[in-house]
């Protein structure tokens, strides 16, 4: 169930040039073999001082089309503890 690869995002909150970033993850090996596993992976952004953790599930429709539905938390570096309130963002992404 473990996997590694790279992630190339199309969006960023920084003005830095977007670069391909490494990811590592794990997929739950389902005992019922229905083929719709849960998973999680992290991306260590190569172009900013932040990391994102994604968790979600892979759904397969009746035609065999796979869709990854995720929720993510992005944590960026902030200069001090008093700024921690604005350091984490949450969102969703769907990958087809």
Q: What is the largest CA-CA distance in the chain?
A: 50
Q: Is 58 helix (H, G, I), strand (E, B) or coil?
A: strand
Q: State the architecture of 2-95 in CATH terms.
A: Beta Barrel (2.40)
Q: Spell out the domain ranges in the chain.
A: 2-95
Q: Average pLDDT, stretch 35-49?
A: 90
Query: pLDDT digit string (tens) for 17-38?
Result: 888 999 999 998 766 666 788 9
Q: Give residue 79's pLDDT.
A: 93
Q: Give residue 44's pLDDT.
A: 93
């Amino acid at each position: 169930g473990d996997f590694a690869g790279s992630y190339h995002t199309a969006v960023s909150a920084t003005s830095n040039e977007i670069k391909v970033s490494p990811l590592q993850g794990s997929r739950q090996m389902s005992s019922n073999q229905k083929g719709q596993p849960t998973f999680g992976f992290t991306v260590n952004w190569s172009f900013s001082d932040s990391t994102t953790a994604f968790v979600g599930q892979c759904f397969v429709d009746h035609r065999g089309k796979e869709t990854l539905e995720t929720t993510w938390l992005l944590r960026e570096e902030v200069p001090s503890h008093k700024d921690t309130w604005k350091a984490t963002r949450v969102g969703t992404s769907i990958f087809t």
